[in-house]
């Protein structure tokens, strides 16, 4: 992490943008909204609400995540820029309603350049509260479960990768391993099972794996070994940084497509996967179903239009795979290049 005194220099290097801060004395709200880019429309990005050891870490988190949202929105052809909110979670909130009202007012003060959504630490409950005080909010209980669309997008990503790498139009008879069968992983397991794949799953929660064994005949393995299981597709749907120098050498699947955010521990891990001939679907492309839903619901798009956009993940990934193969660059580098092109030209 760069030295904290260099926040502006760091932000400038990342292509920012704006950084907004709010201190609300009455409620003890300490919030940061980072706006990376507004070229495609108002910035859409989640609101992270967690403890930070210091303000510098919170600011860097906001900067990193906001920039990621610019790429994610661009590559998903959404009419949004990239932004993110980080609220430094206090040990105790005296009045939650007033606290999130203060956050909503902060959003209003920005005049609509930032639309907030749920992220780690916030749920539909907080978004519902916020929606009482601002219209610049999505991911409320009214819009439905984003995991449905995220899982569908990952499924389309798996189908694209299977077609590209294995030349197959169907998942029938393929073996798919899923790390983490929570909201997204479970729905993905269900679809893969219905399409005729056999499954191996792992989760730290035994009830979640047991449900997959009972409903889909999935084999259960330990969370420590799931990536070492020989399969056609490995789907990381739990943790970030799962693809690192220790795990990659043990991966026994020619394809990796999952929903987890920040799957690569470092950019160099994308290069390593490419050198080993493992086809990796860049996470922010494959897992964009949730943000596509948030955007579509915000603008009142039809279900048909929303599903068409999520289905588009198949074509976007195919383009990335083809370009990676032609240029001998990693799929993760190609995804960033493509997002930049869309940002500049579309």
Piece in contact with ligand NAD (CB under 6 A), picked from 24-32, 130-138, 189-197, 237-245: 237-245
User: In sequence order, what are the residues at sequence separation of 6 or more whose Cβ sits closer than 8 angstroms to the Cβ of residue 13?
Assistant: none
Please check whether residue 242 is in contact with residue 216, taking contact to mean a CB–CB distance below 8 angstroms: no
Residue 261 engages ligand NAD in binding (rule: CB under 6 A): yes
Please check whether residue 243 is in contact with residue 263, taking contact to mean a CB–CB distance below 8 angstroms: yes
**Chain position whose Cβ is nearest to ligand NAD:** 182
Whole-angstrom CA distances from 277 to 37, 165, 186, 227, 257 are 34, 10, 28, 16, 14
Provide, rounded to whole angstroms, the least separation between the CB of residue 46 and ligand NAD. 9
Provide, rounded to whole angstroms, the least separation between the CB of residue 200 and ligand NAD. 12
Piece in contact with ligand NAD (CB under 6 A), picked from 2-10, 97-105, 145-153, 245-253: 145-153
Provide, rounded to whole angstroms, the least separation between the CB of residue 227 and ligand NAD. 10
Site string for ligand NAD, 195-234 (x = CB under 6 A): -------xxxx--x--------------x-----------
Residue 182 engages ligand NAD in binding (rule: CB under 6 A): yes
Residue 146 engages ligand NAD in binding (rule: CB under 6 A): yes
Q: Is the bond leading into 230 cis (omega within 30 degrees of zero)?
A: no
Piece in contact with ligand NAD (CB under 6 A), picked from 108-116, 161-169, 181-189, 269-277: 181-189
Q: Which is nearer to ligand NAD, 65 or 162 (CB)?
A: 65
Residue 179 engages ligand NAD in binding (rule: CB under 6 A): yes
Residue 259 engages ligand NAD in binding (rule: CB under 6 A): yes
Q: Is 84 a catalytic residue?
A: yes
For the chain, first and last CA: distance in Å? 33
Q: Which is nearer to ligand NAD, 29 or 218 (CB)?
A: 218
Size of the residue set binding ligand NAD (CB under 6 A): 24
Q: Is 299 exposed, middle or buried (0-12, 13-18, 19+ CB in 10 A)?
A: middle
Among 9, 13, 72, 84, the one annotated catalytic: 84
Active site residues: 84
Give the residues lining the site for ligand NAD (CB under 6 A). Answer: 146-147, 150, 179-185, 202-205, 208, 223, 237-239, 259-261, 287, 290
């Amino acid at each position: 992490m760069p030295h904290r005194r260099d926040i502006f220099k760091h932000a400038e290097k990342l292509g920012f943008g704006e950084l907004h801060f709010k201190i609300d004395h009455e409620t003890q709200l300490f919030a940061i909204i980072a706006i990376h880019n507004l070229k495609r429309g108002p910035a859409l990005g989640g609101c992270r609400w967690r403890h930070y050891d210091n303000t510098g870490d919170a600011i860097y988190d906001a900067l990193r995540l906001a920039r990621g949202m610019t790429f994610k929105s661009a590559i998903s052809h959404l009419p949004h820029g990239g932004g993110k909110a980080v609220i430094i979670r206090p040990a105790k909130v005296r009045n939650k309603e007033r606290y999130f009202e203060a956050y909503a007012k902060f959003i209003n003060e920005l005049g609509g350049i930032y639309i907030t959504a749920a992220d780690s630490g916030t749920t539909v409950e907080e978004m519902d509260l916020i929606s009482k005080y601002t219209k610049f909010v999505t991911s409320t209980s009214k819009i439905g479960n984003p995991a449905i669309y995220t899982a569908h997008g990952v499924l389309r990503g798996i189908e694209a990768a299977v077609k590209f790498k294995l030349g197959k139009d169907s998942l029938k008879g393929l073996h798919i391993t899923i790390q983490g069968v929570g909201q997204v992983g479970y729905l993905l397991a269900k679809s893969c099972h219905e399409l005729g794949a056999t499954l191996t799953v792992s989760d730290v929660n035994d009830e979640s794996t047991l449900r997959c064994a009972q409903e889909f005949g999935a084999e259960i393995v330990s969370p420590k070994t799931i990536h070492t299981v020989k399969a056609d597709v490995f789907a990381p749907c739990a943790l970030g940084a799962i693809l690192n120098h220790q795990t990659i050498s043990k991966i026994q699947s020619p394809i990796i497509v999952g929903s987890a955010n920040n799957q690569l521990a470092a950019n160099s891990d994308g290069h390593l996967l490419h050198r080993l001939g493992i086809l990796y679907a860049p996470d922010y492309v494959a897992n964009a179903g949730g943000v596509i839903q948030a955007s579509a619901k915000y603008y009142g798009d039809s279900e048909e239009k929303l599903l068409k956009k999520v289905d588009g993940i198949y074509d976007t990934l195919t383009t990335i795979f083809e370009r990676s193969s032609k240029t001998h660059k990693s799929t993760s580098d190609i995804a960033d290049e493509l997002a930049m092109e869309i940002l500049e030209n579309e």
